[in-house]
Amino acid sequence: MGLRPFRSTAPSGCVALAVAAHSGVVPAICRTEPLSSRLENQLIIQEALCARLETLADRLALAVDAQHCLHLARSIYPILRRAHDFEERELFPLLRRQKGARADLSLTLDKLKFEHFEDEGSAEEVIQALIDFVCGGAAVDVESLRRRLQEFAQALRRHLAFERAVLLPRVLRIEEYGHA
Ligand SMILES: [Fe+2]
């Protein structure tokens, strides 16, 4: 039996989840869902965050709604922290426990954990920059903020694309066959 395509495992609530994520609401994740669904949910939420930051970056020169900006800034850290907690406390240990898990997988998970640390550090800078933008008005270098938002979103997108391509198939195999 071949592997199931990723999308076939997406929970029916994924569209609603994506809509909620785009709105800036941090949706509650059901802990009884399969790990693959929870991973995919976390990826969708973070991808939506990237899209919102990229949209804001494109519109900085226009009139930006201050409340929207602050709301987006406030949502960044909880979204990342929730995803990182899930991966580091549940997902990564499960993958490391798999029989025959190779050293390169362990190194990969260490690298992903380090990227979480880096992303949270960058997030703090982005949050502060957005607050300064709202409060500082003309004193803020818009071009610099635009680059910072784009670079943060690009780095996060690379991380998410890797997890989608490498971790999600492993989790699906474990759920379907009992091992990766
Ligand atoms: Fe991650």
In a domain, 16, yes or no: yes
Q: Could you report the per-residue pLDDT of 81-114, keeping only the tens digit for each?
A: 999 999 999 999 999 988 766 778 999 999 999 9
Cα 129 to ligand 1 centre (Å): 23
Write the CATH number for 172.
1.20.120.520
Q: Could you report the per-residue pLDDT of 125-167, keeping only the tens digit for each?
A: 999 999 999 987 667 789 999 999 999 999 999 999 999 999 9
Cα 177 to ligand 1 centre (Å): 24
In a domain, 75, yes or no: yes
- Show the tokens assigned to 8: 């076939």
Q: Could you report the per-residue pLDDT of 111-128, keeping only the tens digit for each?
A: 999 999 999 999 999 999
Q: Which residues surround ligand 1, an ion (CB under 5 A)?
A: 87
In a domain, 4, yes or no: no
In a domain, 40, yes or no: yes
Cα 162 to ligand 1 centre (Å): 9
CA–CA separation, 68 and 51 (whole Å): 14
Cα 87 to ligand 1 centre (Å): 6
In a domain, 140, yes or no: yes
Let me know: does 7 contact 36? Beta carbons within 8 Å: no
In this prediction, residue 83 carries a pLDDT of 98
Per the structure, the count of domains in the chain is: 1
In this prediction, residue 30 carries a pLDDT of 58
Q: Could you report the per-residue pLDDT of 20-73, keeping only the tens digit for each?
A: 555 555 555 556 789 999 999 999 999 999 999 999 999 988 878 899 999 999
The 10 Å CB-count burial string (b at 16+, else e) for 2-25 is eeeeeeebbbeeeeebbebbbebe
Structural domain span for residue 79: 12-177
